[in-house]
Amino acid sequence: MPQADRILKYMKEHPDKGISQREAIYLGCYRLSARIHDMRAEGHHIVTDLIKVKSTDGATAMVGYYRLIKEKEDVSTGSDK
């Protein structure tokens, strides 16, 4: 199964949380932002939520979580996938 399909499936299964790079690694994807870019170009409506987290050394960092809002529309039927 292609990476984009695995990511899309994960986002559908976790609609409130979304996916971050940490979860994407478990799906075999080390360049999540590139896959999200590709998926947006295909017509998927995906938003990015930035969340503050503490790193192991206590510093604050921002982590992006991507959430699927709407899948791309199937052009042949005019309906959502």
Tell me the percentage of the chain whose pLDDT exceeds 70: 90
Asked whether residue 7 carries a pLDDT value surpassing 60, the answer given is yes
Residues counted in the chain: 81
pLDDT at site 3: 93
Strands (E), 1-81: 45-54, 60-70, 73-74, 79-80
Q: How far apart are CA 74 and CA 59, in angstroms?
A: 44
- pLDDT tens by residue, 15-51: 998 999 999 999 999 999 999 999 999 999 999 999 9
Confidence band for 53, pLDDT divided at 50, 70 and 90: very high
Neighbours of 71 (CB within 10 A): 17
Neighbours of 64 (CB within 10 A): 15
Confidence band for 55, pLDDT divided at 50, 70 and 90: confident
